[in-house]
């Protein structure tokens, strides 16, 4: 598909270009719904469609009032802060426990490796509504339902599979003779871990952490059931808004979230490149 040969027939040319048009249409389908949110969020009216002023590119048709509402209204600010209070703690738990376990799993002799792996990956496989139902029943029994720590624990559990997958993937390329060399030179296990192993697997750990963070930051089903009004997060507020009285502020909130995803995407891409470079340099 990398261009047509000079001897291509008319039929082939027609097919080639119509194929490109089809692909462009599919890319449009993928990206347009997200991009269209951004100009709509600057609507001066409380409409969800382009006003004639906006189409005429009249500055009168645009305003930042929905952003002002988003950043001043406690209906949005409180959930935003709740999200920012829950996600980092949940991420820390997932990353700390997940990295240790991934290192353990990558040792050569682990009994029941497949079974353990299946259990650790399960939060990603089980549909969220089922996890949410189970956690609701179980956490109310042990008094965690409707508490901050209940939501943090639930989100940490949901983020763990991502940490396990990314860190084990990084460890596959890890040269074990490096830790032996460090031990040989007199470093204890803790020092070896922080000075030798950690810097090398850091890209995997950070991208796992980003996945865990976005899982918690974007999660709504579990928090709906496990949380109470005091733990209302940003996605929850958006969900309520979409279901009950939809306000255009939601578009401003969505645009803020899109910017966050772009930052995360760029960070991950940089990390991936760095990891590839590091692995290219390592003797293994």
| Identity of the residue, 90 or 200, whose beta carbon is nearer to another protein in the bound complex | 90
Minimum distance from CB of 109 to another protein (Å)? 5
Which residues contact residue 155 at a Cβ distance below 8 angstroms, ignoring those fewer than 6 apart?
86, 87, 90, 215, 216, 219, 222, 223
- CA-wise closest residue to 237 among 79, 57, 19, 97: 79
Minimum distance from CB of 91 to another protein (Å)? 14
Neighbours of 83 (CB within 10 A): 22
DSSP assigned state of 60: G
| Identity of the residue, 200 or 248, whose beta carbon is nearer to another protein in the bound complex | 248
Asked whether the beta carbons of 169 and 154 are under 8 A apart, the reply is no
Residue 284 and residue 280: Cα distance in Å, rounded? 9
Minimum distance from CB of 103 to another protein (Å)? 6
| Identity of the residue, 82 or 166, whose beta carbon is nearer to another protein in the bound complex | 166
From residue 265, alpha-carbon distances to 114, 131, 258 in Å are 31, 27, 10
Minimum distance from CB of 40 to another protein (Å)? 7
- The secondary element (H helix, E strand) that includes residue 144 is none
Minimum distance from CB of 78 to another protein (Å)? 17
DSSP assigned state of 88: H
| Identity of the residue, 248 or 283, whose beta carbon is nearer to another protein in the bound complex | 248
| Identity of the residue, 82 or 207, whose beta carbon is nearer to another protein in the bound complex | 207
Minimum distance from CB of 196 to another protein (Å)? 16
Which residues contact residue 154 at a Cβ distance below 8 angstroms, ignoring those fewer than 6 apart?
131, 135, 139, 222, 223, 226
| Identity of the residue, 127 or 280, whose beta carbon is nearer to another protein in the bound complex | 127
């Amino acid at each position: 598909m990398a261009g047509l040969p000079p001897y291509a027939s008319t039929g082939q040319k027609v097919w080639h270009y119509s194929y490109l048009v089809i692909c462009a249409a599919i890319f449009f389908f993928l990206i347009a719904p997200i991009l269209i949110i951004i100009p709509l969020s600057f609507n001066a009216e409380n409409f969800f469609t382009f006003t004639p002023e906006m189409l005429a590119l009249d500055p009168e048709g645009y305003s930042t009032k929905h952003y002002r509402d988003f950043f001043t209204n406690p209906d949005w600010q409180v959930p935003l802060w709740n999200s920012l209070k829950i996600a980092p703690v949940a991420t820390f738990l997932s990353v700390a426990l997940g990295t240790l376990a991934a290192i353990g799993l990558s040792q050569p002799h682990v009994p029941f490796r497949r079974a353990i792996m299946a259990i650790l990956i399960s939060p990603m496989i089980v549909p969220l509504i089922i996890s949410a139902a189970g956690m609701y029943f179980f956490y109310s029994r042990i008094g965690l339902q409707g508490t901050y720590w209940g939501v943090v624990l639930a989100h940490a559990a949901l983020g763990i599979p991502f940490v396990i997958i990314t860190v084990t993937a990084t460890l596959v390329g890890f040269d074990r003779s490096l830790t032996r060399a460090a031990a040989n030179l007199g470093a204890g296990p803790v020092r070896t871990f922080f000075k030798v192993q950690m810097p090398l697997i850091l890209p995997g750990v950070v991208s796992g952490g980003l996945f865990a963070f976005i899982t918690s930051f974007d999660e709504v089903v579990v928090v709906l059931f496990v949380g109470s009004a005091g733990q209302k997060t940003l996605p929850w507020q958006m969900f309520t808004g979409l279901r009950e009285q939809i306000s255009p502020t939601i578009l401003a909130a969505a645009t803020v979230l899109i910017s966050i995803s772009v930052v995360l995407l760029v960070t991950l891409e940089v990390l991936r490149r760095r990891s590839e470079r590091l692995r290219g340099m390592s003797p293994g």
